[in-house]
Chains A and B, each alone.
Chain A
Amino acid sequence: MGKPTFQRKAEVIGIGREGELLEVAMGPQHPSTHGVFRMDVVLDGETIVKLKPVFGYLHRNHEKIAENTSYLASMPYTDRLDYFCSLTNNWAYALSVEKLAGLQVPERAEYIRLITAELTRLLNHTCLAGFLLQDMGALGTPLMYAFREREKILDLIESLTGARMMCNYMRFGGCRCDLPPGWVDAAKKVVAEYSKFLDEFETLLSGNEILMARTQGVGKLSAELAVSAGVTGPMLRASGVDYDLRKVDAYGIYARYPFRIPLGTHGDVYDRYMVRMLEMRESLKILEPALKDIPEGPVVDPKAKLRGFRPKPGEAYGRIEGPKGELGFYLISDGSPNPYRYRVRPPSLINLTVLEDMCLGQTVADAIVSLGSVDIVLGEVDR
């Protein structure tokens, strides 16, 4: 695992056998590639000797559009980056604008941000487990269970923000609107029932011998390679590196709630899956006390302006631990209502760069499973 990729490729192919190799394009229309994504795979028999990910099918010029619209109007576009978890995207963008403009966030808004971010992490990891099993051929049973639970969280999000997926909820200096009456009790109920669902889910999946046989030893990623490639999120932690922005940056009010970081040892698909399951349980440990402690108060900074927002010239990089990894926004302002440069650090894209290293020497079926474990959303990869 320590040799560079080109050396490993030469060993696997052998010299002079290029004529026997089969080149196949998987995707962009493919039931298991999580969106419009293509993998150009070169096969020697059944073994992968080269893999090139090709993306860009969902490129929507998000960063260029942001240069021509105001800061506020970019907020609904951030929903559509990682369209599965729109609230964490909103928070990352709001965080970087607040750094740029020097805005303060009131306490109540920080609690609401924390709670919605952890709810989003729950729904993302649950559905990832479902999608991974779907790729392995479980015909949708775990996926349907995951979606059943996701519906409960989506109902909460809809009653708070007005929309299930494209929330557009965070504002610079706080949140758009306050919690409706009864929301906290409904959220407490969902959180209380979630660990029972997680137990059922684990009974169905984690001890399943077929799942273990399909995922253990597959898609290994060493810790050195992960760190040097800039991989973040559960993929990094499954390779054994202790790096979680919620602890490192302690943004928001995460420092107030103790939670543990699960670490894997082998860096294979099973570790990534289990790290996410354990992370969900840790999220519940953050959510339960946070829901009890929400203080009263305003939800937006009184100094923040909605229209005519012109931050002073400067630059800022704000990042959060999204469910997929480190989601960051780098903004350069030149004093005008539109940013001069708006750059998204997409965790899915950067995690994808190590796909070839993970899949070399394995079969195509394993490549699909490895891709599923990276947890990509094409909206983020292509922006």
Chain B
Amino acid sequence: MAEVFQAIDQFPVTLKTWLLGHAAGVMPEWALPLLSAALSITPILAVFPLLFALTTVIERKGLGRIQNRRGPNRVGIPLTNIRLAGFGQFIADGIKSLTKEDIVPRSADKVVHFLAPIALLIPVLLTYSVLPFGRNMVPLDLPQTGLLFFFALGASTELSVFMAGWSSRNKYSLLGAMRAIAQMVSYEIPLILSALTVVMIAGTLSLSGIVESQAEVRFGFLHSWHLFTPWGLVGFFLFLTAAAAEANRTPFDLPEAESEIIAGYFTEYSGFKFAIFFLAEYLGLFAMCGLGITLFLGGWLPPFKFLGFIPSWCWFLGKLVALILLFIWLRGTLPRLRTDQLMGFAWKFLLPMTLINLFVAGLWHLSVTSVPMTVRWIGGFALLAIPYWLLGRGFEAKVGKREYRFAN
């Protein structure tokens, strides 16, 4: 029985080796690495855009249910009457964006305007290459620079935002793009600092190495995810907040908000290019979530050892879906922050908290042998909760609940 589960767990790897083995006899030597790369990439290109498509439908249906209404529930398989509870909506949306007229402003810089969506999509797809999706399933295992590669590509997506805003020759697009970049750059720092905590503890920048560092089994059944530590818990939420801001999700979706005059940086995009922006944004969100899972949630490891029969890529996908649902939940509940409040939140709240988190993680690591477990836990939480409370007090001094008086 265990062999069956093992086989299911490793079937992508076995499939790839089998195909390579067969191709070795057929293809020349120099083509084999290319074929190997292509075989590694194909599942990513197949799974994640499909996940994006399903996410758009699930988001609309989920938001609908939160708002006491149904989401889309009529579009199924095209040209038939089969409804599929509305899950064919992405096909309809895709066809719509493909067939829309592609309007490019007359004075726009055409080359840059054309390249901007591609410049967003390619780095985002590249970030997937270092994420470990399952046991032995990293498309590109960089033992010394995995995490650095991810963050470098993530930062380069900001260039395409500026390309989009600049090439439109529209002063509102430009202002929107500058604000978007300001937001993304500000939130890079808490993002990297919270990831840095994990690197410090795990001792390696390799993502599969970080997953391995969480594989130790405690109390006989619990995998030691970084989430199960005080600094990991807080660090995870800081990472998620910064990731939401990077991916322009509510409550940080000011660059995309249409209820302001300075509309987003992709105002001048229509049709397929807009669809690529949309796709790239969601793929960026999935990549960030995937990184968060790798860093804090144990990657493809199950929480409890006895659940290890479920395949590792199932665990990764399951955690990814759970985080996506969390983001949909947040989107349905919260209004959005104003620009200056966004920036203030990043610099005055997230940054100090991540630095304190780094300090607490260091203390935690150094006191492994010398201090008993309960003291470490309570101490860790106290050291994190007190600055949080103080920062919260600073916020509440300016805004807070009020008492109202009544006449007569």
Contacts and interface: CB of A to CB of B under 8 A. Distances in A.
In-complex A–B contact (CB below 8 Å): yes
Given A363-B338, A366-B338, A263 B405 contact: yes
Contact of B67 (A26, A144, A261): A144
Contacts of B399: 209, 212-213, 216-217
Given A138-B334, A140-B67, A141-B67, A214 B406 contact: no
A209 B395 CA distance: 9
Nearest to A372: B259
Nearest to B333: A141
Nearest to A138: B335
Contact of B404 (A30, A207, A263): A263
A247 B408 contact: yes
Contacts of A206: 401
22 contacts: A31-B259, A136-B335, A136-B336, A137-B257, A137-B335, A138-B335, A141-B63, A144-B68, A206-B401, A207-B401, A209-B395, A209-B399, A210-B337, A212-B399, A213-B337, A213-B399, A244-B407, A262-B405, A265-B404, A266-B402, A270-B402, A275-B404
A-B residue pairs, 6 tightest by C-beta: A137-B336, A144-B67, A136-B335, A260-B406, A242-B407, A138-B335
Nearest to A247: B408
Interface of A: 22, 24, 26, 30-32, 41, 46, 133, 135-141, 144-145, 148, 204, 206-214, 216-217, 242, 244, 247, 260-266, 270-271, 274-275, 278, 363-366, 368
A263 B401 contact: no
A141 B408 CA distance: 35
Interface residues of B, number: 37
Contact of B261 (A24, A207, A212, A265): A24
A145 B67 contact: yes
Interface string B337-367: 1111100000000000000000000000000
A117 B259 CA distance: 32
A365 B67 contact: no
A141 B259 contact: no
Contacts of A212: 399-401
Interface in B47-81: 63, 66-69
Secondary structure at the A interface, as helix, strand, loop or mixed, is mixed
- Chain B CB count within 10 A is highest, among A136, A217, A262, for A136
A144 B399 CA distance: 27
B101 interface: no
B335 A210 contact: yes
A22 B398 CA distance: 31
Nearest to A282: B406
A170 to B, nearest CB: 29
A137 B259 contact: yes
Nearest to A278: B404
A176 B74 CA distance: 43
Contacts of B251: 137, 210
A94 B223 CA distance: 75
A264 to B, nearest CB: 7
A262 B404 CA distance: 7
Given A270-B402, A274-B402, A214 B408 contact: no
- Chain B CB count within 10 A is highest, among A140, A365, A366, for A365
A260 B402 contact: no
Nearest to A43: B261
A249 B70 CA distance: 46
Contact of B259 (A145, A278, A366, A368): A368
B404 A141 contact: no
Interface in B217-241: none
Contacts of A136: 335-336
A270 B66 CA distance: 25
Contacts of A214: 335, 337-338, 341
Given A24-B261, A31-B259, A263 B407 contact: yes
Contacts of B250: 137, 139
Given A31-B259, A32-B259, A261-B407, A148 B339 contact: no
B406 A261 contact: yes
Contacts of B331: 139
Contacts of B336: 136-138, 210
A148 B346 CA distance: 36
B68 A145 contact: yes
Nearest to B67: A144
A232 to B, nearest CB: 15
Contact of A263 (B262, B340, B395, B406): B406
B258 interface: yes
B29 interface: no
A197 B401 CA distance: 20
Nearest to A365: B338
B408 A274 contact: no
Contacts of A271: 402
Contacts of A366: 338
A139 B256 CA distance: 12
A275 B259 CA distance: 25
Nearest to B392: A209
Interface string B372-406: 00000000000000000000000100111110111
